[in-house]
Chains A and B, each alone.
Chain A
Amino acid sequence: MDAFRQAIHLLITLDPELLQILGVTMRMSFFSTTISCLIGLPLGTLLGTHSFRGKAFLKKLLHTLMGLPPVVAGLLVYALFTHYGPFGTLNLLFTVRVMVIAQCLLITPVVTGLCASYMEQSATGILETARGMGLPSSRVLLLCLSESRTSLLSVVLNAFGRSIAEVGAVSIVGGNIQWKTRVMTTAIMLETNKGNFSFALALGFILLLLAFLVNVAASLIVKEVRYA
């Protein structure tokens, strides 16, 4: 297949533009995933292990946000960071940073929601043990997180998958600027619009390969932690 051949050719020749685009993609996805998980995992654990008034409403809100269309998130962030927007003076529009912000808006609810439903289902045992040991609630939170790390890994990888595959928000706030904010998905979009279907598909194969490698690496790390 032509696209396959092109993908291999791009990888073997270490095409400098491709490497740069891959670099931006990885940097963006790494920060989006990290920040979303730093916020979403503790919040999801709290939500999943505590009951309080207004929880049902909060969960509905969360589930709505989980379905936020990327273009809408992109437009919101564009409106915030455009030159005359509330954060316009920060001069962040069309940078990788603002792409990370837009993606966090998209991914944090997903991480929170998935983490909360996981905790609801399987944290009762951990909670009982922790209470039996008389741990303070901050330690309980940490225990919940560390005991469920294998399952939470899939939440983290889900977040990463969203981030790396997302095109609507990053093309609006990032502007798809060559050598600066172009990532794999926006490059694929551009090539598709230009009619270079096989080249676009080649980029798609490379993106898949990248996602696969990250998944392998992540599961290796978790294994290490487990048996260490």
Chain B
Amino acid sequence: MKKLLAILLAALLVLSLAACGSKTETDPSATQSEQSSEVANTTIRLSTTTSVNDSGLLPYLLPVFEKATGYKVEVQSAGTGAAIQKAIDGNADLILVHAKASEEEFIDGGYGVERLPFMYNYFVIVGPKDDPAGIADCEDAAAAFAKIRESESKFISRGDESGTHKAELKIWGEDAPDASKDAWYISAGQGMGACLTMASEQQAYCLTDKATFLSMEKDLNLGLLLEKGDDMKNTYSLIAVNPEKIDGLNVDGAKALIDWMLSDEASELIAKYGQEEYGVSLFYLLEK
């Protein structure tokens, strides 16, 4: 009867192989376009953070680039930690992220060519409109965080290794609150939008990028309490993945996209973004 088992296993193997084969054959309409574009290498894989994609900046910018150049940009957005990891795994041509220390690590590891900081905005602290911890008059985020800690007001942390999470940890400094001990400090492990919703439900404080907050403000019961402290600047950089370390990259495509993002045309579009909808710019350009 061992024979039967062996036959069964063999059948499973053969069938699964056949299945893989049939997939490649039976699904041509699905993937032909993907394949042909890969052959011509007009596809650029951009791994980026949620704040630039979900805030609408990339969906606003990229069609202009795609129309002008004929490239097609495939955007994957995740927290900065995951966004960088995808590039290290060889699954992206360039990254657009906002966590300086991680970016430098990425470059020191040989994965990135050059860090090109090109735009910035400010993190803001949002919280209950009556501001129980009284942070609205604080000089910077560190002072505000100290007050939140002192009053043990609820605080929602991203807790997901994202750029925002790393910026938050940097502001806390060496003695960051410990979610296992400090009951008021909640490590959500979710995206910015989900954290803001949670903060609104629980009337907690939260560090967020301004773009995401403004795009959700009407659905949230939260106030914008503190912005533009010196320690709240949030710089975004472009880094092309290093072709000497990772093979199979679309080097020309990555370069074309970076050149365009740093061009005057893109700068103008970025500076204007948000004006129409919110009456303020959401991203500012770094002096060149």
Answer yes or no: A95 CB below 8 A from chain B CBs: yes
| B190 close to A35 (CB less than 8 A) | no
Answer yes or no: A176 CB below 8 A from chain B CBs: yes
| B16 close to A46 (CB less than 8 A) | no
| A100 close to B5 (CB less than 8 A) | no
Give which listed residue, A54, A82, A195, contacts B90 with CB less than 8 A: A82
What is the number of residues of chain B that contact chain A, defined by CB distance less than 8 Å?
45
13 A-B pairs with CB atoms under 8 Å apart are A27-B30, A35-B22, A42-B11, A43-B15, A84-B90, A95-B34, A96-B30, A97-B24, A101-B20, A178-B59, A194-B193, A195-B220, A196-B193
Answer yes or no: A38 CB below 8 A from chain B CBs: yes
| B23 close to A82 (CB less than 8 A) | no
| B23 close to A193 (CB less than 8 A) | no
| B2 close to A53 (CB less than 8 A) | yes
Give which listed residue, B8, B54, B220, contacts A193 with CB less than 8 A: B54
Separation of A52 and B9 alpha carbons in the complex (Å): 13
| A175 close to B27 (CB less than 8 A) | no
Q: A96-B31, A193-B193, A196-B193 given. 18 additional CB < 8 A pairs? A: A38-B19, A39-B12, A53-B2, A53-B5, A54-B5, A94-B74, A94-B91, A95-B31, A97-B31, A175-B76, A177-B75, A178-B75, A190-B54, A193-B191, A193-B194, A194-B216, A195-B193, A195-B219
Tell me the chain B residues, 175-201 only, with Cβ under 8 Å from chain A: 190-194, 196-197
Contact residues in A for B196 (Cβ distance below 8 Å)? 195
Q: How large is the interface on A (under 10, 10 to 19, 20 to 34, 35 or more residues)?
A: 35 or more
Q: Which interface residue of B2, B22, B38, B74 has the most chain A CB atoms within 10 A?
A: B74
Answer yes or no: A104 CB below 8 A from chain B CBs: yes
Nearest-neighbour CB distance to chain A for B56, whole angstroms, equals 10
Answer yes or no: B1 CB below 8 A from chain A CBs: yes
Tell me the chain B residues, 153-173 only, with Cβ under 8 Å from chain A: none
Contact residues in A for B90 (Cβ distance below 8 Å)? 82-84, 88
Contact residues in B for A176 (Cβ distance below 8 Å)? 76-77
Answer yes or no: B89 CB below 8 A from chain A CBs: yes
Answer yes or no: A64 CB below 8 A from chain B CBs: no
Contact residues in B for A196 (Cβ distance below 8 Å)? 193
Contact residues in A for B216 (Cβ distance below 8 Å)? 194-195
| B194 close to A97 (CB less than 8 A) | no
Q: Assess A43 versus B12: contact at CB under 8 Å? Given A35-B19, A194-B193.
A: yes
| A52 close to B19 (CB less than 8 A) | no
Residues of B within 8 A of A (CB): 1-2, 4-5, 8, 11-12, 15-16, 19-20, 22-24, 26-27, 30-31, 34, 38, 45, 50, 54, 59, 74-77, 89-91, 190-194, 196-197, 212, 215-216, 219-220, 246, 248
Contact residues in A for B91 (Cβ distance below 8 Å)? 82-83, 93-94
| B89 close to A82 (CB less than 8 A) | yes
Contact residues in A for B76 (Cβ distance below 8 Å)? 94, 175-177
Q: Which residue of A lies closest to B220 (CB)?
A: A195
Nearest-neighbour CB distance to chain A for B17, whole angstroms, equals 11
Answer yes or no: A192 CB below 8 A from chain B CBs: yes
Give which listed residue, A39, A50, A52, A193, contacts B50 with CB less than 8 A: A193
Q: Which residue of A lies closest to B200 (CB)?
A: A195
A172-208 interface code vs B (CB 8 A; 1 in, 0 out): 0001111010000000001011111100000000000
